Amino acid sequence: MPAWELKDKVAIVGIGETEYTRWGKATKSELALTLEAIVKAVNDAGIDMSEVDGFCSYASERQEPITLANALGIKQLRWNTLHWGGGGGGSAGGVMDAMLAVATGVANYVVAYRSLAQGQFYRFGMAKGPSVASGNSAFSNCFGLLTPAMTFALQARRHMHEYGTTSLQMGAVAVASYKHAQNNPRAVMRGRPITLSDHQASRMIADPFHLYDCCQENDGACAVVLTTAARAKHLKQKPVYIMSASQGSGYREGVSGHNKLQYTTANFGAVAKDLYARAGITPKDVDVAQIYENFTGMVIMSIEDHGFCKRGEGGPFVEGGRIEIGGELPINTSGGNLAEAYIHGFELVIEGVRQMRGTSVNQVKDAEICLVAGGPGVAPCSDLLIRR
């Protein structure tokens, strides 16, 4: 079935999330967090747990579908997939996999989810230099690039060199996310707004990234329920329709960036082109965006990749409140990875649904279309366009 025939055929009908805490502060196991988020999402949809017949996730999710099915009393598991790739590159891709299963009739109600308990397992932001490096690590670890901050800092610095992007412009992304988090009772950084001066005064993590340029490290879980548009009309919540979805990578893109042909991109160029074509819209039609912030510099490149401005103009684009509520393109209206929580970007899917339902704490007036972009700079990455 051609991808464009799937437009609006599948809807997100339920959302659920746990409390978000700083890494190591969760009082439940990762499995318990996952189950809690799924139960909340299913209850939000107004269906019985026995109707769920599929699970999708990404980023080496530890909580396997068969474990969840047994724990939740699922009668028959018809679909289970894991989107390849690290980080949040699959945060939209996991939803896309669920959409494909529902649209083709393989499963009826599919849950897409992500869970993190870094206190129980390990911190993603901690350097873990192995004695033997393989794959992409073989091209980075030997040069001291041991964490994502170190790797993506090189791309940000190159963008600064080529286009004049500044640290203050990256700070504008952080300030917007922290500002939005102040109205969000779920946000870990609620009660801790920052200014550009605070951003500039924060300690350097990996030049040019200051502390506030970097995503948080958190524990928590979130989930969404998908079904057909026909079933969605009879359920508890207002359906949020998936206009289009896209996943993949551009030519010679690598996670570590060692083999990039275009170094000042977030790897969304090819993915975004498919996304807009399948939806039959342009960037001008997008009212609000949830753009994964691993680091602020990558958000600027994501904005460029998705056509909201020309290459090299992302820095000026984010200045002057243009990405805040009331601005030209409000982004990360829950606080995002920087200030709400870092659940590998899946909390951004939840916020996108809230915006389309009209229930966000930072609701964008009359918003009809939302972009959700997952994992800038990684390969593969993924995108969603959802509508009310």
Which is nearest to 323 in space by CA: 156, 173, 165, 170?
A: 173
What is residue 313's DSSP assignment? -
**Distances in whole angstroms, Cα of residue 219 to Cα of each of 6, 135, 188, 375:** 34, 28, 10, 18
Question: Annotated catalytic sites, by residue?
Answer: 292, 342
318 Cβ neighbours under 8 A, 6+ residues apart: 169, 172, 173, 176, 299, 300, 303
Quickly count: other Cβ atoms within 10 Å of residue 84's Cβ.
Answer: 14
Please list the alpha-helical segments (H only) found in the chain: 30-45, 65-72, 93-103, 148-163, 167-181, 196-201, 229-232, 269-279, 296-305, 314-317, 336-339, 346-357
Distance, CA of 253 to CA of 44 (rounded, Å): 39
